[in-house]
A and B are shown apart, each in its own frame.
Chain A
Amino acid sequence: MKRSELAGPALAKPVLDRSALLDVQDISRLYGPGKGCESIDFRLHAGEVLGIVGESGSGKSTLLRVLAGLETPDAGRVIYHTNDGELDLYAISEARRRALLRLEWGLVHQNPRDGLRMGVSAGANVGERLMALGERHYGNLRAAGQDWMTQVELDAGRIDDAPLTFSGGMQQRLQIARTLVTRPRLVFMDEPTGGLDVSVQARLLDMIRTLVRQLGLSVVLVTHDLAVARLLSHRLLVMRRGQVVEAGLTDQILDDPQHAYTQLLVSSVLTP
């Protein structure tokens, strides 16, 4: 009797605390004063979408490159939590780091040409990461290619077409399919809808949102577009001149910004 009373409330309380996936500790990478990123600290939880916002030149892409293992920081650590323990991203060997990026992580570039192999077919693009993982069955690769093209709302009948024959929005979908095909534990996206027409952007955003939810992806998303950030992110970091000036839940930050810079950013969206 007493026991069940005690157990009741404890069970009813939802477990909000998700496991940590990435710990970013005092990361700096500066090209000059205020150029780059400086003293960045945050934790990314599994299943969370973290948006990094700020105006152009505020250091978002620099930070993302450091997080994604592509650019060695001047100071600080990036700790990745695996099932078998912690990895210090820049203390492990380059071989290990590249393998991580290739096999467990994914990176979606702003310009799809940076993330696609333009010289080979859509199917080969989607299949590459599977081949890198050791898939040696052509039929399986093809099936995965068609399946993923469908998931990103591309015509699977175009599996043998070159990405060059695709529109910008379609190329971005293809890049996303190519990245997600191996079900990465962690995905980095740098302005994934940048450079596209507004109507194309909206449809792509819907698709990304659906995929992120369905797959329960953990994402670090860089965008200068607060609407994109609002639609996709659980939490936000606001960057200005290389530093994080405000961090918190997306709705809180966008509905009630505390820092003057964030207030400026938000008001500039509201007053077109």
Chain B
Amino acid sequence: MNGYNFAYLDEQTKRMIRRALLKAVAIPGYQVPFGGREMPMPYGWGTGGMQLTASILGGDDVLKVIDQGADDTTNAVSIRAFFERVAGVETTTATAAADVIQTRHRIPETPLEHDQILVFQVPIPEPLRFIEPSEQETRLMHALEEYGVMHVKLYEDIARYGHIATTYAYPVKVDGRYVMDPSPIPKFDNPKLDMSAALMLFGAGREKRLYAIPPYTRVESLDFEDHPFEIQQWDEHCALCGSDHSFLDEVITDDAGNRLFICSDTDYCLTRRGEVA
């Protein structure tokens, strides 16, 4: 594309982001500041993830973009089209065929391989922000492993609702050290972070922070001994593919209010139904 460098960002910016990524990989779960650039989209549309994707994408890479598990939402389509235009890369909706997957709110159901990279779009990278507004203080709390407040939040959940009510952005501890916000994925996906074969990268555009979980890293969801971490479960199976083990979305099918449960991961569902070559 004329007037743009490969993958939109200039080489100097990409090098700077790659250096920050190397640091993030070296310190799993640690938030690394980076001098983010403006992307041709407003914050909140995945600019953090896009800058990371732009920095790691190679000419032969195949890119997949999902939003809430689906490849066909406006946001996913426009990010995919953007990289087709500015990087000329091949894109796919097939999880297994992708080298780089940029995602918002889900981890694909198909287990990822060691040669794949998952890039998360992150709105609020700081898991301690809910209790501590000062950036300086939260950095110190991480440095000193002052994480008692994370359990205060879970305690409060149980006291109020009888169980840990946090279902999205459920906090994790990475490699026994840093407490990390896994971005607003459902807690259903948290176990997929643990000992993942694929590299996981997280980018927050507004706050200009990135962090990483290197392959085969221990990732534990915080909990209590007598209220252990649990993932969401459904009584129903997917109405389309019959899956009894994927994350299900509830959809209303008609004006009468009838509802169905279907896989949130559209590629996974289509593949199970044999509709993808």
Which residues of A approach B to under 8 Å, CB–CB? 94-95, 98-99, 102, 117, 119-121, 123-124, 127-129, 131-133, 136-139, 141-142, 159-160
Contact B224 A137 (CB under 8 A): yes
C-alpha gap A141/B151 in the complex (Å): 11
C-alpha gap A98/B153 in the complex (Å): 21
The residue that B227 contacts in the complex, of A121, A123, A138, with Cβ under 8 A, is A138
Q: A95-B143, A121-B156, A123-B159 are in contact. Are A137 and B149 (CB under 8 A)?
A: no
The residue that B152 contacts in the complex, of A99, A131, A139, with Cβ under 8 A, is A131
Contact B226 A131 (CB under 8 A): no
Contact A117 B131 (CB under 8 A): yes
Number of inter-chain CB pairs below 8 Å: 60
Contact B225 A128 (CB under 8 A): no
Interface string of B147-178 (1 = CB under 8 A from A): 11101110110111000000000000000000
- Secondary structure of the B contact surface, majority rule: helix
**B277: min CB distance to chain A, Å:** 49
Q: A99-B144, A141-B155 are in contact. Are A136 and B149 (CB under 8 A)?
A: no
C-alpha gap A180/B15 in the complex (Å): 52
A94 contacts which chain B residues (CB < 8 A)?
A: 140, 144
The residue that B146 contacts in the complex, of A98, A119, A124, with Cβ under 8 A, is A98
B155 contacts which chain A residues (CB < 8 A)?
A: 120, 123-124, 127, 131, 138, 141
C-alpha gap A124/B225 in the complex (Å): 17
Contact A160 B148 (CB under 8 A): no
Scoring A94, A127, A138, A141 by chain B CB atoms within 10 A of each residue's CB, the highest score goes to A138
A139 contacts which chain B residues (CB < 8 A)?
A: 226
Question: In chain A, what residue has the closest Cβ to B222?
Answer: A136
Q: A123-B155, A123-B159 are in contact. Are A129 and B148 (CB under 8 A)?
A: yes
Contact B226 A117 (CB under 8 A): no
A98 contacts which chain B residues (CB < 8 A)?
A: 140, 144, 146
Contact B156 A132 (CB under 8 A): no
Question: Can you list 18 A-B pairs, Cβ within 8 angstroms, ordered by A?
Answer: A94-B144, A95-B143, A98-B140, A98-B144, A99-B144, A102-B148, A117-B131, A120-B152, A120-B155, A127-B152, A128-B148, A128-B149, A128-B152, A131-B155, A132-B146, A138-B225, A138-B227, A160-B160
C-alpha gap A129/B158 in the complex (Å): 18
C-alpha gap A128/B152 in the complex (Å): 6
Interface string of B223-237 (1 = CB under 8 A from A): 111110000000000
**A128: min CB distance to chain B, Å:** 5
**Beyond known contacts A128-B149, A138-B227: 4 more, CB 8 A cutoff:** A136-B151, A137-B224, A137-B225, A142-B159
Q: In which size bucket is the chain B interface?
A: 20 to 34
B152 contacts which chain A residues (CB < 8 A)?
A: 117, 120, 124, 127-128, 131
Scoring B144, B153, B223 by chain A CB atoms within 10 A of each residue's CB, the highest score goes to B144
Q: A95-B143, A124-B156, A138-B155 are in contact. Are A131 and B225 (CB under 8 A)?
A: no
B144 contacts which chain A residues (CB < 8 A)?
A: 94-95, 98-99
**A247: min CB distance to chain B, Å:** 36
Question: In chain A, what residue has the closest Cβ to B145?
Answer: A95
A129 contacts which chain B residues (CB < 8 A)?
A: 148
A138 contacts which chain B residues (CB < 8 A)?
A: 155, 158, 224-227
A120 contacts which chain B residues (CB < 8 A)?
A: 152-153, 155-156
C-alpha gap A131/B150 in the complex (Å): 9
B160 contacts which chain A residues (CB < 8 A)?
A: 121, 160
C-alpha gap A244/B148 in the complex (Å): 38
The residue that B224 contacts in the complex, of A95, A102, A136, A160, with Cβ under 8 A, is A136
Scoring B140, B160, B226 by chain A CB atoms within 10 A of each residue's CB, the highest score goes to B226
C-alpha gap A192/B159 in the complex (Å): 29
C-alpha gap A127/B155 in the complex (Å): 9
A119 contacts which chain B residues (CB < 8 A)?
A: 131
Question: In chain B, what residue has the closest Cβ to A142?
Answer: B159
**B84: min CB distance to chain A, Å:** 46
Q: A98-B146, A117-B131, A138-B227 are in contact. Are A131 and B156 (CB under 8 A)?
A: no
C-alpha gap A117/B153 in the complex (Å): 11
Question: In chain B, what residue has the closest Cβ to A129?
Answer: B148
C-alpha gap A133/B145 in the complex (Å): 11
C-alpha gap A137/B223 in the complex (Å): 9
C-alpha gap A15/B155 in the complex (Å): 46
C-alpha gap A95/B140 in the complex (Å): 9
C-alpha gap A157/B153 in the complex (Å): 20
A102 contacts which chain B residues (CB < 8 A)?
A: 146, 148
**B232: min CB distance to chain A, Å:** 20
A159 contacts which chain B residues (CB < 8 A)?
A: 159
**A269: min CB distance to chain B, Å:** 41
**A222: min CB distance to chain B, Å:** 25
The residue that B159 contacts in the complex, of A99, A131, A133, A160, with Cβ under 8 A, is A160
The residue that B225 contacts in the complex, of A99, A136, A142, with Cβ under 8 A, is A136
C-alpha gap A136/B220 in the complex (Å): 14
**B27: min CB distance to chain A, Å:** 17
